[in-house]
Chain A
Amino acid sequence: MDLIATILVDGLIYAGWLFIVSVGLTLVFGVLNILNIAHGSLYAIGAYASASLVGAYFAAGGEAFPFGSYLALILAAVLVAVVLGPLLERGLLRYFYGRDEVLNVLVTYAVFLILEDVMKLIWGVNPYFVYEPYTLLGDVEIGPLFYVGYDFAVIAAAIIVGLAVWLTLNRTQVGKVVLAVIHDAEISQTMGVNVKRIYLGAFMAGAFLAALGGALTAPMISVTPGLGVNVIIVAFAVVIIGGLGSVPGAAIGALMVGISRAASVHLVPEAELFIIYFVMAIVLMFRPEGLFAKTQARKI
Chain B
Amino acid sequence: MMHLPVYVSAIIAFVLLAAGSLVLPDWAMFLFAMALAKGLVCLGIVGMMRGGVVSFGQGLYYCLGAYTATLVANSFGVSDIFLLTLISAAVCLAVGLVFGPLLSSYRGIFFAMLSLALSMVLYGTLSKMSFIGGTDGLNIGAPTFLGWAPEGRPLQTALYIYVVAIVVIAGALMRIYFDSEQGLITLAMRDNELRVEYLGASVRHVMTYNYVFGALLGGIGGTIAVLALGHVDPEFAFWTTSGEFVFVAILAGYLSVPAVFVAAIILELVRSFSNLYFPNTWQLALGIFLLIVIVALPGGLGSLIKRSKETDT
Contacts and interface: CB of A to CB of B under 8 A. Distances in A.
Contact of A112 (B53, B129, B192, B287): B287
Interface residues of B, number: 46
A289 B284 contact: no
B110 A288 contact: yes
A76 to B, nearest CB: 23
Contacts of B125: 270, 273-274
Interface stretch (A4-12, A99-107, A135-143, A175-183): A99-107
A187 interface: no
Interface string B242-261: 01001100100000000000
B180 interface: no
B2 interface: no
A113 B128 contact: no
Interface string A235-276: 011001000100000000000000000000000011111111
Interface residues of A, number: 47
Contacts of B105: 288
Nearest to B280: A120
A114 B240 contact: no
- The main secondary structure of chain B at its interface with chain A is helix
Nearest to B239: A233
B9 interface: no
Contacts of A105: 56, 109, 112
A106 B281 CA distance: 19
Contacts of B246: 106, 109
Nearest to A236: B113
Contacts of A272: 124, 128
B108 interface: yes
B158 interface: no
Nearest to A298: B194
Contacts of A233: 116, 120, 239
Given A111-B287, A229-B239, A270-B129, 12 more contacts: A92-B291, A95-B295, A102-B108, A105-B56, A106-B246, A106-B250, A110-B287, A113-B286, A269-B128, A273-B128, A284-B114, A300-B195
19 contacts: A103-B294, A105-B56, A107-B294, A109-B243, A109-B247, A110-B290, A110-B294, A113-B290, A116-B283, A118-B284, A229-B240, A233-B116, A236-B113, A244-B109, A284-B106, A284-B113, A288-B105, A288-B110, A299-B194
